């Protein structure tokens, strides 16, 4: 069974026979701690696979990598996998597509997950292209957990393990 953590947060509103949420079956309600970017609290999410009893998932916890906050998809997948639910393995990934315009301004800075990718770049001397920025981001993947690709004005950032992607930039 496969489920993306972005899909967790809304389960069935009705169970098999059309009745509303049944607390004995623990089916049909949204877990309070499953909101995007919000950490799971212990017991806020219960999952059943097939006819098995619902299993309570523990709290999500931050990891040691950049962007692995307790509210990240990475932490939620880890919490689900730690619950030992037979027949279920949770995976996570995060991606963002951003319109990119080449930088020709002076003093351009960009960081991802708190790691400086460009610092005071002078685009007035040499324009910073999307391909060059993607290469700079990829050169820092070990520190950020984020890869980049560039195509026709669109920069795609990806974290294959589901960690957050936090981008900060300044111009001038």
Predicted confidence at residue 6, as pLDDT, reads 42
Contact 145, 75 (CB under 8 A): no
Give me the pLDDT at residue 35, please: 55
Specify the pTM: 0.75
The reported pLDDT for the residue numbered 46 is 87
**Helix, strand or coil, per DSSP, at residue 17:** coil
d(CA 81, CA 78) in angstroms, rounded, equals 5
Q: What is the DSSP string of 130-145?
A: HHHHHHHHHHTHHHH-
3-state SS, one letter per residue, for 22-52: ECCCCECCCCCCCCCCCCCCCCCEEECCCCC
Low-confidence ranges of the chain (pLDDT < 50): 1-22, 25-34
């Amino acid at each position: 069974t496969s489920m993306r953590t972005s899909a967790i947060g809304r389960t069935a509103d009705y169970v098999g026979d059309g009745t509303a949420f049944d607390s004995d079956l623990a089916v049909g309600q949204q877990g309070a701690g499953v909101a995007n970017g919000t950490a799971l609290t212990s017991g806020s999410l219960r999952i059943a696979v097939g006819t098995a009893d619902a299993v309570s998932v523990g709290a999500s916890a931050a990891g040691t990598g950049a962007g692995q906050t307790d509210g990240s998809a990475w932490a939620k997948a880890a919490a689900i996998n730690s619950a030992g639910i037979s027949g279920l393995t949770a995976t996570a990934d995060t991606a963002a597509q951003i319109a990119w315009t080449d930088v020709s301004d002076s003093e351009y800075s960009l960081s991802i997950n708190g790691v400086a990718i460009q610092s005071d770049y002078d685009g007035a001397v040499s324009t910073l292209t999307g391909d060059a920025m993607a290469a700079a981001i990829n050169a820092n993947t070990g520190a950020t957990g984020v890869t980049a690709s560039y195509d026709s004005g669109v920069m795609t950032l990806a974290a294959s393990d589901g960690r957050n992607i936090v981008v900060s930039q300044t111009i001038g």
